[in-house]
């Protein structure tokens, strides 16, 4: 597992191979070939082994999908739990209590805070500051790293209060939660969340001072959109090029293609091209629904939409961190435990589709359920799978700008461009090695 560059000056060929992409979740590789100063080949290989979730879900009782699909990803298990629960609730016509709905938003805020704090500081910031990793970064930026870890812990604390543990929490179920917290349990989070709002603002201000490569792409941004709130669990799927559909229309609108070099599928908009899901897309399509303090900070930092520079995703992720802390506070302020932790459900035949916003973007689930309540077929489209083709497209467009740089710099920048998407390869196979070939 290594990063190698072979340069054959006689043929003018440089091959860059990154066998195992670092600071991403899961395993993938990048292969780039440059010949006579021109980019010839870009391939993102996903060699994360297939785990075949959609196949072994068949025959399981539908509510089991909430716990089982969480195991697709240790970084965003709540996203899987939420998309699964919502899809099954739609199949069975279950209505959830407004306070259960609010608690699910709080639960999701916890996952966003943990995941965004991890990515902004531990996985992505080292690229901008020139460190191999967050530990090396900590030597010169101890205060910032401590702030990051405290923010990350705050996100995890929310998840623990609602779900028992940070990874694969155990409380979510179809209809709501197995058990809901008392008011005092969530109120205990208020002081740290108030600190979190300030810390996320400080993070955004710091990140805004980073040196961003000058690169913009013409993205079709896709995310959920809700008339009254920044999207987490609910909303229509909309795009910057005119898509506006219910989740039920997902498979008619988007197409997954299977390509040979990848254990993950590539997504495109039917009869169009690649698209972009994640923080930049959500932000572009939902900026007006952010709290006023986040919007004014974005304007002060000259980061209001449109933002088409993918390297600035780290800044938008920081702004979303601030949003998630504020939103969590708002929910806690208005929280009253629901009369029942979950709605009663009656297994029956049905078909349900739902999409929610994982930290990395829109996560779609569809279940066909038999009369015995068992899953007949399942379809899961994770955000990273939707972004894979777009990541390759970014590299095709961005790398030609930097081909005059030393090979080590090209390699690192290529990796950084991939990390813009906070890719989760474990999800995408249900992702990365960099190979750079320069001739």
Partner 1 sequence: MSSNGNRPKIAVFKFASCDGCQLSLLDCEDELLSVVSAVEICYFPEATRNVIKGPYDIALVEGSVTTHHDAQRIQQVRRSAKTLITIGACATAGGIQALRNWQDTAEMVRTVYAKPDFISTLKMSSPIAEHVPVDLELRGCPIQKYQLIELITATLIGRKPNLPAYSVCIECKRKGNLCIAVAQGTPCLGPVTQAGCGALCPAFSRGCYGCFGPMESANPAALTNQMLREGATTDEIQRNFRTYNAWAWQFRQASEEVEKR
Residues 241 to 270 in contact with partner 1, rule: CB under 8 A: 256-260, 262-263, 265
Beta strands 433-438 and 28-35, pairing class: parallel
**Interatomic CA distance for residues 424 and 363, integer angstroms:** 12
Q: Rounded distance, CA 206 to CA 210, Å?
A: 7
User: In the structure encoding, which two tokens stand for residue 279, read together?
Assistant: 């923080």
Chain positions 180 to 239 lying near partner 1, rule: CB under 8 A, are none
| φ, ψ dihedrals at 242, nearest 5° | 100, -5
Please choose, from the candidates 276, 244, 232, 222, the residue with its C-alpha nearest in 3D space to the C-alpha of residue 86.
232
With CB under 8 A as the contact rule, which of the stretches 69-77, 207-215, 302-310, 383-391 interacts with partner 1? 69-77
Query: To the nearest whole angstrom, how small is the minimum distance from the Cβ of residue 405 to partner 1?
Result: 17
Q: Which of 17, 43, 47, 282 binds partner 1 (CB under 8 A)?
A: 47
Tell whether residue 1 is a contact of partner 1 (CB under 8 A): yes
Residues 154 to 183: which contact partner 1 by CB under 8 A? 156, 164-168, 170-171, 173, 178-179
- Which CB, 253 or 397, lies closer to partner 1? 253
Among 5, 68, 78, 391, binds partner 1 (CB under 8 A): 68
Which of 44, 45, 67, 318 is in the footprint of partner 1 by CB under 8 A?
Answer: 67
Residues with Cβ within 8 Å of 242's Cβ and at least 6 positions away in sequence, in order, are: none
Distance CA 217, CA 310 (A): 8
Number of residues located near partner 1, criterion CB under 8 A? 75
Please, which of residues 74-93 interact with partner 1 by CB under 8 A?
74-75, 77
> Which residue of 122, 237, 321, 355 would you call a contact of partner 1, by CB under 8 A?
122
Could you tell me the smallest distance in angstroms from the CB atom of residue 196 to partner 1? 13
Q: What is the maximal distance between C-alpha atoms in the chain?
A: 76
Helices 313-333 and 279-286 meet at what angle, rounded to 10? 70
Non-local CB neighbours of 288 within 8 Å, separated by 6+ positions: 295
Give the binding range for partner 1 (CB under 8 A) out of 46-54, 228-236, 356-364, 397-405: 46-54
Segment contacting partner 1 by CB under 8 A, of 139-147, 239-247, 279-287, 314-322: 139-147
Question: Does 367 sit near partner 1 (CB under 8 A)?
Answer: no
Q: Is residue 84 classed exposed, middle or buried when 0-12, 13-18 and 19+ CB atoms within 10 A define those classes?
A: buried
Measured from the CB atom, the residue of 38 and 179 that comes closer to partner 1 is 179
Q: How far is the CB of 154 from partner 1 (least distance, A)?
A: 9
Instruction: Please say which residue, 264 or 307, places its beta carbon nearer to partner 1.
Output: 264
Task: Enumerate residues 369-428 that contact partner 1 by CB under 8 A.
Answer: 412, 415, 424, 426
Residue 252 burial by CB count (10 A; 0-12/13-18/19+): exposed, middle or buried? exposed
124 binds partner 1 (CB under 8 A): no
Q: How far is the CB of 398 from partner 1 (least distance, A)?
A: 19
Closest distance of CB 37 from partner 1, Å: 26
Choice from 52, 182, 293, 371 touching partner 1 (CB under 8 A): 52
What is the β-pairing status of strands 265-269 and 28-35? unpaired
Q: Is the dihedral of CA 307, 311, 315, 318 positive or negative?
A: positive
CB atoms within 10 A of CB 65: 26
Which of 5, 16, 17, 27 touches partner 1 by CB under 8 A?
27
């Amino acid at each position: 597992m290594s990063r190698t560059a072979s340069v054959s000056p006689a043929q003018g060929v440089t091959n860059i191979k990154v066998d195992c992409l670092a600071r991403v979740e899961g395993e993938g590789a990048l292969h780039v070939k440059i010949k006579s100063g021109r980019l010839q080949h870009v391939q993102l290989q996903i060699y994360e082994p297939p785990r075949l979730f959609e196949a072994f879900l068949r025959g399981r009782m539908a509510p089991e999908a909430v716990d089982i699909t969480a195991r697709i990803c240790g970084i965003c298990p709540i996203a899987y739990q939420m998309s699964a629960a919502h899809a099954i609730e739609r199949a069975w016509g279950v209505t959830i209590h407004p306070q259960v709905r609010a608690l699910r938003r709080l639960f999701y805020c916890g996952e966003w805070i943990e995941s965004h704090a991890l990515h902004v500081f531990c996985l992505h910031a080292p690229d901008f500051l020139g460190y191999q990793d967050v530990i090396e970064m900590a030597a010169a930026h101890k205060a910032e790293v401590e702030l990051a870890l405290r923010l990350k812990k705050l996100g995890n604390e929310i998840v623990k209060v609602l779900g028992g543990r940070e990874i694969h929490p155990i409380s979510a179920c179809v209809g709501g939660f197995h058990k809901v917290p008392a008011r005092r349990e969530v109120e205990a989070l208020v002081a740290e969340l108030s600190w979190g709002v300030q810390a996320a603002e400080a993070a955004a201000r710091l990140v805004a001072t980073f040196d961003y490569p000058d690169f913009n792409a013409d993205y079709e941004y896709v995310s959920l959109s809700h008339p009254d709130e920044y999207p987490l669990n609910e909303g229509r799927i909309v795009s910057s090029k005119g898509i506006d559909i219910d989740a039920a229309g997902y498979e008619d609108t988007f197409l997954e293609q299977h390509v040979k070099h990848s254990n993950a599928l590539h997504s495109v908009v039917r009869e169009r091209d690649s698209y972009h899901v994640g923080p930049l897309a959500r932000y572009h399509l939902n900026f007006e629904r952010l709290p006023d303090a986040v919007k004014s900070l974005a304007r002060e930092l000259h980061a209001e939409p449109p933002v088409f520079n993918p390297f600035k995703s780290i800044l938008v992720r920081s702004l979303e961190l601030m949003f998630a802390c504020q939103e969590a506070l708002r929910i806690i302020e208005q929280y009253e435990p629901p009369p029942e932790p979950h709605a009663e459900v009656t297994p029956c035949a049905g078909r349900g589709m739902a999409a929610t916003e994982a930290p990395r973007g829109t996560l779609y689930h569809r279940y066909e359920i038999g009369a015995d309540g068992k899953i007949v077929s399942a379809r899961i489209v994770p955000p990273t799978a939707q972004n894979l083709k777009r990541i390759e497209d970014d590299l095709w467009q961005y790398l030609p700008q930097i081909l005059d740089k030393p090979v080590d710099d090209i390699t690192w920048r290529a990796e950084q461009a991939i990390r813009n998407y906070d890719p989760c390869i474990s999800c995408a196979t249900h992702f990365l090695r960099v190979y750079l070939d320069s001739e």
